[in-house]
Amino acid sequence: MKKVAISLVICLSILTANAQQKELTISSKVNNDKSVTLTAEKSSPGSYTVVLNFKSLTNSDNLNQPAFKIKYETDNFLTLRPNNKDQGIGYSYSYSYIRGELNPKYNAQFLYTLPYANGKKVRVAESGFMNAAYFGSTTPADWKAYRFYTEQADTVIAIRKGIVVKAADLFDQDNKEVEFTSKVNEVMIEHADGTLASYKGFRKGLLVKEGQTVFPGTALGLSHMQNERYGISIIITYLKSADFESVRNQGIKDRKSLYGFITPFFCTVESANDILTTQKYYTPLITPEIIQKEMTKKEIKNLTKK
């Protein structure tokens, strides 16, 4: 009998804002000219979106833009200026944050490689939305998640250039008889266009670290057995909403995702540019053009020296 191990937070780690982890904090400073600078400091690489809620604000204009992109480790993202330069600014605020750039201009037609090396035979299966399966939620209209199966444990590679923003290498248990569990090792990669790829299902002992730049073909780790099969799950998302209040005020069943989901196009031996068909076998095709597509001139030069 298959087992299901479900965390109370079932929305997938990339789908919820988790302020408790304190990945980002905001401080304020009054300057000599009586202006106020707000500074974000983050402990994790990659982009975040911060939403400010001013409970009070005097002697300065209300914000037309409540959401801000935080990119740098220390980011002075907002300066409030006094309307009356002879008086200080009165203010109090709260804030929420979430990983990702809000409504990035992503390329929906971008061509990805499969997460295994050339010559491997990979079976593809579309994964269902866990909240719908176990809590009666409605599956998002754009939901798309894949699981890639191989006959044996194999090295999982990056499907696109990006920066590793999360490398969770925590679990070493055998999931052989577990149909679903939230306790899995994960690598998350942020791409240049603001999309996020989440790879889940690694054996303990990841081959990359947070802050590292990876390219198509970079080894991320070894696939782990779950439900008596070796495989890796991949979801590609983008941040489409920063409406935190709607998430807080809804139960799991009615909660809407703040993220949108990408249906990716893949380059395979069977098709040079196509959307994958579930339960079909594919052979990876990683070409020099795919590897170098997003490389800088310096990165290409260094690659050709090897």
Q: Which amino acid would we find at residue 108? A: A
pLDDT value of position 21: 55
pLDDT value of position 64: 76
Q: Average pLDDT of 256-270?
A: 94
Q: Encode pLDDT of 157-199 as tens digits.
A: 999 999 999 999 998 866 555 556 678 899 999 999 999 999 9
Contact 238, 260 (CB under 8 A): yes
pLDDT value of position 131: 64
Residue 68: CB atoms within 10 Å: 21
Q: Which residues contact 174 (CB under 8 A, 6 or more apart)?
A: 225
- Going by pLDDT thresholds of 50, 70 and 90, the confidence category of residue 3 is very low
Range in 69-78, 122-131, 208-217 with the lowest mean pLDDT: 122-131
CA distance 149 to 114: 11
Tokens standing for 165? 């923003």
Contact 149, 230 (CB under 8 A): yes
pTM of the model: 0.88
CA distance 220 to 171: 16
Residue the block writes with tokens 């740098």 = 72
